[in-house]
Structure 1
């Protein structure tokens, strides 16, 4: 009986000593799991600067938004669009950007982690009669597009000369529904699977051509 009592006493003393040692080291025990957040991504989301490689720069510089690490990231590309027409026509600019978004990422972009959710068939043109000036119309209804693909379109258009100012773009589909003003925000770039902030178009009506 004494042997069992002695063994229990020694065990209790050992546990107390261990607890004192842990406390003395500044480590607080807890029974609640600690969420340290997601593991840091190893995807660089950055392409090699052409200027540092000595590669010749050809075409007009354009900026599109691709997916990388579940977010939207701006990527600088070169468009074959003639320079004198690059920024003068919003519809032409939008078509050039759409072509860039429909294209598969280059080897360098894929290695950096970039992808695109924009899929064809998809075209963009000017607004219908009675639409506000600067309206763009897609060949498919915006709500029929994948959410990430639509976010790519909104930010790429809104941050270019095809936009309507204020980081926004006037977009509609092929139907008779009125266009909406869609905004590219920091929150949308961080969560492209969410719906872009929208607002009803209140600008004066004007005739637009496709």
Structure 2
């Protein structure tokens, strides 16, 4: 009986030693921190401040509204336009429209800015019989993407292209009546919503 008992004890001892060895192969926790990468260095919809010591961009400073984070946010641009032309509403309107059509800069893209204004869009002045301060787009305003129309209205409302009350009178290539638009805080927050309008504007008689 001693032989079988001794062999069983030997096997048990071997199994115990194997279990200890296997336990030593387990994955142990570590207190070393894991590098998950650098945190985002730029707040969305905010551009880095311009270095006051650096050379300012040439041109006249103007503001345009771009889309960022599902809302409209103003961006400073420097445009080449003679100062005496700043009182020319149509010239200012076309200059601002050209800025809205431009591809955002690398810095603007990194901050989340984009534009929905089409490259082919143009603007002209009032026709005979139009209300004063009318601007006519090469496409019907109501046919534009909602974000694009909101960008145009808010950009014009903060410029010499707007009327005295900051309303924006827009028409298109058709003979449809001109409509007045307003840029409100609600529109900037939700540019996909219906734009506030003053209805159809008829010339005063």
TM-score range, shorter chain: 0.7 to 0.9
Indicate the residue corresponding to 2:55 in structure 1.
Answer: 55
| 1:124–1:137 Cα contact (<8 Å) kept | yes
Indicate the residue corresponding to 2:124 in structure 1.
Answer: 125
| Residue 100 (1) aligns with residue 102 (2) | no
Change over 3 Å in CA distance of 1:133–1:153 after alignment to 2: same
Alignment of 1:38-77 (within 5 A): 43-52=43-52, 54-77=54-77
Superimposed CA distance per residue, residues 142-165 of structure 1 (whole angstroms, 9 cap, x where no aligned partner): 111100000000100111100013
Once superposed, what is the RMSD of the aligned Cα atoms? 1.6
Superimposed CA distance per residue, residues 61-104 of structure 1 (whole angstroms, 9 cap, x where no aligned partner): 0100000100000111000112221x211100000000000000
Q: Secondary structure at the match of 2:87?
A: coil
| Residue 163 (1) aligns with residue 169 (2) | no
Indicate the residue corresponding to 1:184 in structure 2.
Answer: 183
Indicate the residue corresponding to 1:31 in structure 2.
Answer: none
| 1:50–1:57 Cα contact (<8 Å) kept | no
Which whole-Å CA distance do the structure 1 matches of 2:72 and 2:53 have between them? 25
Aligned residues: 163
Which whole-Å CA distance do the structure 2 matches of 1:161 and 1:174 have between them? 22
Unaligned runs of 5+ in 2: 1-41
Indicate the residue corresponding to 1:83 in structure 2.
Answer: 83
Which 4+ residue blocks in structure 1 deviate beyond 4 angstroms?
Answer: none
Displacement of 1:43: 4.7
| 1:171–1:181 Cα contact (<8 Å) kept | yes
Unaligned runs of 5+ in 1: 1-41, 206-210
Structure exhibiting the larger radius of gyration computed from Cα positions = 2
Q: Secondary structure at the match of 1:156?
A: helix
TM-score by length of 1: 0.73
Displacement of 1:53: 5.9
Indicate the residue corresponding to 1:38 in structure 2.
Answer: none
TM-score by length of 2: 0.75
Which whole-Å CA distance do the structure 2 matches of 1:51 and 1:58 have between them? 14
Which whole-Å CA distance do the structure 1 matches of 2:195 and 2:163 have between them? 15
